[in-house]
């Protein structure tokens, strides 16, 4: 990152685009709040300045965010990978944010389609024309693609399309429409942080590190325990921490206290294993923020 070019912004504030509504909006604002930034309290607010943290937030449609960032109008954005790819904007994904995960699929009436070769000559409805066209082109499949704004599942029932290509999360919308996916996943999506790698704005690294800190804080917990010095090596092998565990002497002769960050997943199993090797007073605590 350090070899990237930086360009000054006119206001001196980092200009950040945040989804104003939809599937990514709430989780994006929550993550920013956890990163120490002010967030709007009213969903009608369109912009918000956080002078103390050197950031100005613009609440925009997630589909438009990649365009603003790609053109350099805004410095940074949070949007979906599928929307970034669909836009063809010259913005780059720099961090996956761990929410808004979905898969992009072709789907048709249950039982009718099983293979992508059946797409040849089909009428495909989608809100993601860019993604679908490049997928078909790469495979040399000729089909007609129609752009719809949303609720694409209904287009088949209405006779406008034979097949749809859309975001699938739980699959319940497809099921309700009597549709099922077929063929390989077109792409795996999720919320991502984007910027222009060719012109990284000042203040971007601090912003990225704050969000990364939240990701780490969410996926790790702090583990503390006491153990006899004779067993500490075995215990530390189970809890190596990020750099290395902290081992401090206890008042009680021959015992030490150990502190290490451990992955949240499997932390309870780890507590069982630590108990087995002699650890006692084992505590798990949440981490609220972190810089590694
Ligand atoms: N269950 C979901 N439904 C829709 N989008 C989801 C879901 N889960 C994650 N996403 C992601 O959210 C982004 C699209 O956001 P959203 O659906 O809110 O926008 P939109 O379809 O343009 O607007 P709206 O649905 O409010 O008209 C995409 O990146 C998409 O992959
Ligand atoms: O697999 P599921 O959990 O059912 O979620 C997927 C559905 O959610 C989104 O619709 P959205 O509510 O954004 O409406 P839209 O289609 O009008 O964009 C998406 O377009 C699918 O229709
Ligand atoms: Mg939608």
Kindly state whether residues 53 and 195 are assigned to the same domain. Answer: yes
Per DSSP, the residues of 82-136 read HHHHHHT-S-EEEEE-S-S-EEEEEEEETTT---GGGGTT-EEEES-HHHHHHHH
Can you give the pLDDT at residue 2?
42
Kindly state whether residues 89 and 228 are assigned to the same domain. Answer: no
Kindly state whether residues 183 and 230 are assigned to the same domain. Answer: no
Kindly state whether residues 159 and 279 are assigned to the same domain. Answer: no
How many domains does the chain divide into?
Answer: 3
143 confidence band (pLDDT: 50, 70, 90): very high
CATH of the domain at 140: 3.40.190.10
Is residue 209 a part of any domain in this protein?
Answer: no
Which conformational region is residue 80 in: left (phi greater than 0), alpha (psi within -120 to 50 degrees), or beta? beta
Kindly state whether residues 49 and 194 are assigned to the same domain. Answer: yes
Kindly state whether residues 183 and 62 are assigned to the same domain. Answer: no
Kindly state whether residues 95 and 113 are assigned to the same domain. Answer: no
Instruction: Say if ligand 1 is within 6 A of residue 201 CB.
Output: no
Instruction: Say if ligand 1 is within 6 A of residue 170 CB.
Output: no
Q: Which domain holds residue 262?
A: 221-286
pLDDT tens digits, residue range 66-96? Answer: 999 999 999 999 999 999 999 999 999 999 9
Residue with the smallest CA separation from ligand 1 atom 25 is 22
Bridge partners, 224 (sequence order)? 259, 283
The minimum-distance atom of ligand 2 relative to the CA of 174 is: 4
1 confidence band (pLDDT: 50, 70, 90): very low
Kindly state whether residues 142 and 91 are assigned to the same domain. Answer: no
Is residue 3 a part of any domain in this protein?
Answer: no
11 confidence band (pLDDT: 50, 70, 90): low
Q: Is the pLDDT of residue 6 over 80?
A: no
Dist CA 292 CA 285 (whole Å)? 17
Q: Is the pLDDT of residue 7 over 70?
A: no
Mutate-to-test residue for ligand 1 from 85, 167, 170, highest number of ligand atoms within 8 A of CB = 167
Is residue 214 a part of any domain in this protein?
Answer: no
């Amino acid at each position: 990152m350090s070899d990237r070019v930086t360009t000054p912004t006119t206001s001196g504030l980092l200009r950040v685009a945040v989804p104003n509504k939809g599937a990514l909006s709430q989780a994006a604002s929550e993550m920013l709040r956890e990163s120490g930034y002010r967030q709007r309290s009213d969903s009608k607010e369109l912009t918000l300045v956080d002078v103390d943290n050197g950031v100005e937030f613009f609440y925009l449609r997630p589909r438009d965010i990649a365009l603003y960032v790609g053109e350099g109008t805004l410095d940074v954005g949070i949007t979906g990978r599928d929307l970034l790819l669909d836009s063809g904007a010259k913005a780059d994904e720099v961090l996956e944010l761990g929410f808004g995960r979905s898969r992009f699929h072709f789907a048709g009436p249950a039982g009718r389609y099983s293979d992508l070769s059946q797409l040849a000559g089909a009428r495909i409805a989608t809100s993601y024309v860019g993604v679908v066209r490049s997928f078909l082109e790469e495979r040399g499949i000729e089909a007609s693609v129609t752009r719809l704004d949303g609720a694409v599942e209904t287009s088949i029932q209405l006779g406008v399309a034979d097949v749809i290509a859309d975001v699938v999360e739980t699959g319940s919308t497809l099921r309700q429409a009597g549709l099922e996916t077929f063929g390989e996943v077109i792409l795996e999506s999720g919320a991502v942080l984007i910027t222009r790698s060719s012109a990284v704005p000042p203040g971007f690294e601090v912003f990225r590190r704050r969000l990364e800190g939240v990701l780490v804080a969410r996926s790790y917990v702090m583990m503390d325990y006491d153990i006899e010095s004779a067993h500490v090596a075995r215990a530390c092998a189970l809890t190596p921490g990020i750099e290395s565990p902290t081992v401090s002497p206890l008042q009680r002769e021959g015992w030490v206290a150990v502190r290490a960050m451990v992955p949240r997943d499997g932390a309870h199993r780890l507590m069982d294993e630590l108990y087995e090797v002699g650890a006692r007073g084992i505590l798990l605590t949440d981490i609220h923020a972190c810089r590694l």
